[in-house]
Structure 1
């Protein structure tokens, strides 16, 4: 059996090495998003089940819907400010943007977590916190951008998926083997493929002691760094931030869902989401915003309008 696993791993290695990496993402869109930093809500805290105080931002609204919006890889909740504030101002949802464990200005351990499923536990704890803090909330939408969308999909397929009333997935990362993903996410990510394969095989054999090893790095140009970025992930953080199995996880979504992408996405093939998602989530709404990049999706007026409309109507479907 171990020999068959090794042959499979070599096949994955070859498949992941056949394309040439692109130059990366358009970070000018990120700069424009961070223009709203002066208007950022202050960081608040909630206690996860292990006693760790984790950070989040809250964009209040009178809406009975709460949207938990998860940021993508390498960064934190700041860059979601424009999108989150617009939804709250429109009355579409009260928006909460947590700094995922291992990220943010001062994480306990940057780029690492304690065990693979810890981010799902944290998200469940955060939802319980929101419900306890605001009894007027009647619907919880779990959403995310890029890897944050991948975590939302993982959450849907896990033990806490029932906590979500709907899912809002913004250019979600489905996994390295999904047809929607460009090689190395368009040059943004640099995985240590051989190390990932070796650790994956060890985990299948029950060996997890090396899961703190760094296996993934991100190409954030120096001019866009401010000290709060997270430029490398351990194996357990990388794995826990991704869908467990995107097909199975997507099939677990039996509530309203919106997949929103930008037609000019540099990390993913926007035109492949419809055919990839539809077989597993037949009732999902799939919307592509013209002339919009991966990061630009979060400041696109058309994208924000589509998300607002969906949030205000999903309960009527």
Structure 2
């Protein structure tokens, strides 16, 4: 039988070093693969940003506008509109040194229309993903009507680390629905009627609602047909699911606890003739829940302050931003 040769001491040490190096290399490769997999998974779960769209973690594509430079002002639109509703304020503020951002809420405007997610927790999380993707800091958040609830819920769920100030214009806060703890709210039957109108003939309802929206049915009030048609255009661009389910979201969501978490300066603007969200059940109650609130009431003002009273609103927003 032939003799099996064995390596001498130096050869044995070289062999062991080689095995150790190979093992280390294998471990590094495995670890590197795990890190790569983790990064890949994180990337898949993160928001994806392009020039005018952010894709949320659940795959919803949100359209947004980002104009100008300077301190950031983030706008949340009302029902059933889109970021276009803010164009007068955005155009004014970029001329005064501000960066303005507004998005179309999921299901609204040019954003995609998923089958679910038409609740304020999701709306607030969508907004947070946009804010984080753009890395906005010390921003002022402004919400109109339904958008006021979005601002309140955003702060409640995501804190004030990126928030300098907030503003509520004709906002649905603090709580629209009549309940045992909110006796001044509107009965659920009112909002059930809105949902029935959406199902029956959404196109006509979107046109009819412009009358009370702009207080067009008051003697002496004149609103252009173009303004009514612009509201209708935006409303029709919103998807059916959003149009239907958002009615329940803004009417049945209680924002009282959300507002109590807001400690930054707040501006509240409301019209005394708001026929969509009456002053007495909204702005005045909202102001009581905010420690640094300034309430401004436009005498005879409608729900559509963004357009009918745009010059005054622009001036008030600018003064608030500079204060």
TM value normalised by structure 1: 0.64
Query: What stretches of structure 1 of length at least 5 have no aligned partner?
Result: 1-42, 132-136, 196-213
Does residue 48 (structure 1) correspond to residue 56 (structure 2)? The answer is: yes
Q: What is the 5 A alignment of 1:123-134?
A: 123-131=127-135
Q: What is the 5 A alignment of 1:196-211?
A: none
1:243 and 1:79 mapped to 2: Cα distance?
24
| Native 8 Å contact 2:265 2:293 kept in 1 | yes
Report which of the two has the higher share of helix.
2
SS of equivalent residue, structure 2 residue 59: coil
Aligned counterpart, 2:265 = 256
Aligned counterpart, 1:58 = 66
1:279 deviates by 3.0
Asked which structure has the greater RCO (Cα within 8 Å, sep 6+), the reply is 1
Query: What stretches of structure 2 of length at least 5 have no aligned partner?
Result: 1-50, 209-227
1:156 deviates by 2.2
SS of equivalent residue, structure 2 residue 237: coil
| Aligned equivalent of 2:86, options 62, 80, 89 | 80
Aligned counterpart, 1:289 = 298
1:115 and 1:270 mapped to 2: Cα distance?
26
Q: Larger C-alpha radius of gyration, 1 or 2? A: 2
| Native 8 Å contact 2:143 2:150 kept in 1 | yes
User: Per the alignment, do residues 100 and 241 of structure 1 end up closer, same or farther by CA in structure 2, a change over 3 Å counting?
Assistant: farther
1:181 deviates by 8.2
TM value normalised by structure 2: 0.63
User: Per the alignment, do residues 242 and 308 of structure 1 end up closer, same or farther by CA in structure 2, a change over 3 Å counting?
Assistant: farther
1:181 and 1:221 mapped to 2: Cα distance?
28
Aligned residue pair count: 241
1:258-314, CA deviations, whole angstroms, 9 ceiling, x for partnerless residues? 11112332212235656412331132111112332211344421111011110112x
1:58 and 1:296 mapped to 2: Cα distance?
22
1:231 deviates by 5.6
- The Cα RMSD (Å) is 3.7
Aligned counterpart, 1:114 = 117
